[in-house]
């Protein structure tokens, strides 16, 4: 059986390390390379607490891509790093699974066009947890029956962007299902106390130690409220979704935004 040759960019980060441990256990995958700006020169397996796997962490992304020629590269870095990495992925025509958030709608459309022109498979997902995808689906359905919604998202302090990509995609789904005019009647004594706003949906971002990734979507209606919540208690929760994406992108030269696009929902 031909194995999927996987490369991880941002391999020394928490998501990268979890993915090393996960890919190492898959019979149909082989980790062939990893890049980062830290832990350079170390064995990827030993770095994340398992046995040595013979994959040495590199710093030069362009050279590594040309020498290794992976089937799929997984990028779990941060917005500015991803913007520098994308031209190299496209130049080397490597299929991409991107968990890094922060790209604008315009940047996503440009990436989609580039992938289609070069026949490159790409999946960009703000959240790889299956439960989070279901939460977004349920929220979109509920929005058809409830008056309006607000979102509260909770992440660890190291998360660089706010609001999260998951919160934005959830709000977009709610707006798509039912976007009606809403007049904000409250007055902010402290600017920003009502959070940010996308369409009719207010989004509040919490950054505290102890959280991995959680989100509440709170709906209000006549005499009732409805709360839909998802909690990722560890980064293990993201791995089934990442594996699903790798297997899909290795065989399909299409562009997908959101894990839901490849799930049977």
Among residues 160, 197, 167, which one has the least CA distance to residue 182? 197
Contacts of 110 (CB under 8 A, 6+ apart): none
230 is annotated as an active-site residue: no
Rounded Cα–Cα distance for residues 200 and 195 (Å)? 12
If DSSP codes are grouped into helix, strand and coil, which group holds residue 254?
Answer: coil
Q: What share of the chain is helix, strand, coil (3-state, %, to 5)?
A: 35, 25, 40
Active-site hit among 84, 141, 159, 253:
159
- Catalytic residue chosen out of the listed positions 155, 169, 204, 230: 155
Binding residues for (S)-2,3,4,5-tetrahydrodipicolinate are: 156, 165-166
Whole-number Cα distances in Å, 23 to 27, 29, 44, 78, 189: 9, 6, 12, 21, 50
* 159 labelled catalytic: yes
Task: Name the binding residues for NAD(+).
Answer: 10-15, 99-101, 125-128
Euclidean distance between CA atoms 173 and 168, whole angstroms = 9
80 torsion bin: left (phi>0), alpha (psi -120 to 50), beta (else): alpha
Catalytic residues: 155, 159
């Amino acid at each position: 059986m031909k194995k999927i040759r996987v490369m991880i960019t941002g391999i020394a980060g928490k998501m990268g390390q979890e993915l090393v441990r996960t890919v190492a256990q898959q019979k149909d995958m082989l980790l062939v390379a990893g890049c980062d700006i830290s832990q350079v020169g170390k064995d990827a397996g030993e770095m994340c607490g398992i046995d040595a796997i013979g994959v040495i962490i590199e710093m030069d992304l362009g050279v590594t891509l040309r020498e290794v020629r992976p089937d799929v590269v997984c990028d779990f870095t941060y917005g500015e790093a991803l913007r520098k990495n994308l031209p190299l992925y496209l130049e080397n025509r490597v299929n991409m699974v991107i968990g890094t958030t922060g790209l604008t709608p315009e940047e996503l459309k440009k990436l989609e066009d580039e992938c289609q022109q070069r026949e490159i498979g790409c999946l960009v997902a703000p959240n790889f947890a299956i439960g989070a995808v279901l939460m977004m689906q349920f929220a979109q359905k509920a929005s058809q029956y409830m008056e309006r919604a607000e979102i509260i998202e909770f992440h660890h302090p190291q998360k660089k962007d706010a609001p999260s990509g998951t919160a934005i995609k959830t709000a977009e789904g709610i707006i798509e299902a039912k976007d009606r005019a809403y007049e904000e009647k409250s007055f902010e004594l402290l600017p920003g106390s009502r959070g940010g706003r996308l369409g009719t949906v207010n989004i509040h971002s919490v950054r505290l130690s102890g959280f991995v990734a959680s989100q509440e979507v709170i709906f209000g209606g006549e005499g009732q409220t409805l709360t839909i919540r998802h909690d990722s208690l560890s980064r293990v929760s993201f791995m089934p979704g990442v594996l699903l994406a790798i297997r899909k992108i290795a065989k399909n030269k299409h562009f997908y935004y959101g894990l839901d696009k490849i799930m049977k929902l």
